[in-house]
C-alpha cells in the first residue's frame, strides 16, 4: 500500500469529518447542557441545506452568502423547539419522541415542497465542490476544508464561550446542578433558548455545507442519524472540542478502511471501533471527568 495514498485518504477523511462534527455539535450541546435529545436537529440541517439551495439558486448568489438568512432562521427554529420543550417540562426521552415527530413532519413537508427528486446547486454557483488546495503532494478538497474550517471555528468559539464567559459558566453550572444554579439566580430558561438557538444556527451552517458538497434528497435527514450520534457520544456529550476530534477520527477511519480493505466493510470496522472505544472509555474519548 502506497504510503502517500494512505496519507491522502486519511487527511481528506479527517477533513470530511469536520462537516459531520458540525452536524453533531448542536446535538451534543443541547443534549449535554439542556438534557434534551433533539432529533429535530437533523431536519434543521436538512432544511438549512434546502434553503441554501433555494436562495442561492433563486438569487444566483454564492451559497455561503445564504447563511445571512439561514442562520437566523434556524436560530429561531432551534429556540422555538426548546421553548416547546420547556413549556411542556419534557423528560429527556420524551424529548426524543416529540422531536422525532417533528422530524417526520418536516421531512415530509420538504418532500411535498421540493419533491423527493435530487436537488443540487448549479455548477456555476458552486465553485467549492470541485476545487482543492495543494499542500505539497497532498490535495485538500475545498469543500471539506470549508467544513473543517467552520467546524473548528465554531467548536473553538463555543469552547471559549462556555469556558470563559459568564453565560458559559452559568450554562455549565446549570448542566451540573440545576437546583444550585437556580439558587444563584441563573435564569436558565432564557439561556437555554439562546443555546438551543445557537445549536440551530450551527445546523444551518452544516446544512449549507452539505448542500455545497452533495445533491439533496429528503431521505438524507434520516441517513445521518447513526454516524452523527456516534460522533456525539465518542466526543463526549456536551464537549464541543471532543466532537470535532471525534468527527475527524471517525471519518478518517471510514476512509482508511475503505482504501485498505473495502468500502463495504467500513461501517463494520468503524462501528466495532466505536464499541471498543465505549467499552474502554464509557465517558467518551475526550471527556475530562467520568460521571
Partner 1 sequence: MSKPSSALRVASALFVLALVGCTAPAPATPGPATPGPATPGPATPGPATPAGEAIVVGASLSLTGIFGATGIIHDIAGKQFVEQLNDEGGLLDRPVEWMVLDDESAAAGVADLYERLITQEEVDLLMGPYATPLILAALSVAERNGMVLPHHTSVHRPFMNYECQFPGWSIGPTPNEFVPNQLYDALESLPEPPQTIAFVTNETGSTGYVVHGQPDVDEPAALSIAEDRGMEVVADIRYTPSAEHTWDAVAAELASVEPDFVFMSTLGVDSLNLLNAMEQIGYRPPLAFSLFPAPGPLLGAGEVAEGHLSVSMFEPNEPILERMGPEVRAIVEEFESRAQAAGLPYTAFETQATGSWTAWEILAEGVRGAGSLDHEAICDYLLANGAETTFHGHLTFDPADGNYWPTTQGIKQIQDGDWVMVWPADSAAAPLVGPSN
Partner 2 sequence: MARRGLALLLLAAAVLAAAAPLREVFGFPTFYLIFMATVFFWVAQSTSWNILSGYSGYFSFGQGAFFGVGAYATAVLMSRHDFDFIATLPVAGLVAVLIALAIGAVAFRLRSLRGEIFALLTLAVPFIIAPFVRVTPALDGGQGLRVPVPRQYVDLVGGFPEFIFLASLAIATLAVAIAYTAQHSRMGWALFAIRDAENVAEGLGVPTFRYKMLAISLNGFIAGLAGAVFAVQVGFLTVEGVFNLTVPLFVIVMSVLGGRSHWLGPALGALVIVSMRDRLAASGFEGWSLVILGLVLATLVLLAPEGLMARLLIRPRAASLVFAAVFLALAAYGGWGAPLDWLAVAMAAAAVVAFLPVSRRRLRQQEARLLADEAIAGPAEVQPVETEPAEVQPVEVQPAANLLAQPAPAPELGQPVIECLDVARSFGGVHALRGVSLTVREGELVGLVGPNGSGKTTLVNLISGAFAPTGGEIRILGRSTRAMPQHRMAHLGVARTYQIPRPFESMSVRDNVAVAIMFGRQPRSLAEARRLAAEHLELVGLSRLAGARPSEINLHERQLLEMARALAGRPRVLLLDEALAGLNPAEIDNATQVVRRIHQSGVTIVLVEHLLRVVNQLATRIVVLDQGLALADGAPQAVMSDPAVIQAYLGKGAHA
Cβ atoms 256, 13 nearer than 8 A: yes
Under rule CB under 8 A, residue 271 binds partner 2: yes
Q: Tell me the closest approach of the beta carbon of residue 89 to partner 1, in angstroms.
A: 4
Report how far residue 116's alpha carbon sits from residue 126's, in angstroms, rounded to the nearest whole number: 22
Count residues near partner 1 (CB under 8 A). 57
Grid coordinates belonging to 283: 465517558
Q: Tell me the closest approach of the beta carbon of residue 271 to partner 1, in angstroms.
A: 12
List the one residue from 5, 59, 88, 180 that touches partner 2 (CB under 8 A). Answer: 88
Residue 261 partner contact from partner 1, partner 2, none using kind-dependent CB cut-offs of 5 to 8 Å? none
Q: Tell me the closest approach of the beta carbon of residue 101 to partner 2, in angstroms.
A: 3
The residue with cell 466526543 is: 235
State the residues that interact with partner 2 by CB under 8 A: 31, 84, 88, 90-91, 93-94, 96-105, 107-109, 111-112, 222, 225-226, 229-230, 233, 237, 262, 264-268, 271-272, 274-275, 278-279, 282-283, 290-291
State the residues that interact with partner 1 by CB under 8 A: 2, 5, 8-9, 12-13, 16, 20, 84, 87-91, 94, 107-108, 111, 113-120, 122-124, 129-132, 139, 141-144, 213-215, 217-219, 223, 227, 251, 254-256, 258-259, 262-264, 266-267
Amino acid at each position: 500500500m502506497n504510503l502517500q495514498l494512505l496519507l491522502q485518504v486519511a487527511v481528506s477523511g479527517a477533513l470530511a469529518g469536520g462537516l459531520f462534527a458540525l452536524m453533531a455539535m448542536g446535538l451534543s450541546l443541547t443534549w449535554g447542557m439542556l438534557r434534551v435529545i433533539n432529533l429535530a436537529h437533523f431536519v434543521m440541517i436538512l432544511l438549512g441545506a434546502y434553503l441554501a439551495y433555494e436562495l442561492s439558486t433563486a438569487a444566483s448568489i454564492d451559497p455561503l452568502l445564504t447563511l445571512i438568512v439561514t442562520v437566523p432562521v434556524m436560530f429561531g427554529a432551534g429556540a422555538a423547539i426548546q421553548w416547546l420543550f420547556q413549556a411542556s417540562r419534557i423528560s429527556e426521552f420524551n424529548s426524543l419522541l416529540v422531536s422525532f415527530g417533528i422530524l417526520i413532519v418536516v421531512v415530509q413537508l420538504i418532500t411535498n415542497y421540493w419533491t423527493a427528486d435530487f436537488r443540487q446547486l448549479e455548477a456555476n454557483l458552486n465553485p467549492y465542490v470541485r476545487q482543492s488546495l495543494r499542500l505539497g503532494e497532498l490535495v485538500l478538497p475545498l469543500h471539506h476544508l470549508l467544513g473543517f474550517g467552520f467546524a473548528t471555528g465554531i467548536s473553538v468559539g463555543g469552547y471559549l464561550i462556555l469556558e470563559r464567559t459568564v453565560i458559559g459558566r452559568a450554562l455549565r453550572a446549570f448542566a451540573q446542578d440545576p437546583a444550585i444554579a437556580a439558587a444563584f439566580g441563573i435564569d436558565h430558561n432564557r439561556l437555554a433558548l439562546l443555546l438551543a438557538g445557537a445549536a440551530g444556527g450551527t445546523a444551518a451552517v452544516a446544512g449549507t455545507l452539505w448542500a455545497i458538497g452533495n445533491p439533496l434528497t429528503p431521505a438524507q435527514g434520516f441517513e445521518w442519524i447513526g454516524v452523527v450520534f456516534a460522533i456525539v457520544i465518542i466526543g463526549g456529550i456536551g464537549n464541543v472540542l471532543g466532537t470535532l476530534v471525534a468527527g475527524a477520527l471517525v471519518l478518517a477511519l471510514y476512509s482508511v478502511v475503505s482504501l485498505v480493505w473495502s468500502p463495504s466493510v467500513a461501517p463494520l470496522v468503524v462501528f466495532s471501533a466505536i464499541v471498543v472505544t465505549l467499552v474502554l472509555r464509557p465517558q467518551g474519548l475526550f471527556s475530562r471527568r467520568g460521571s
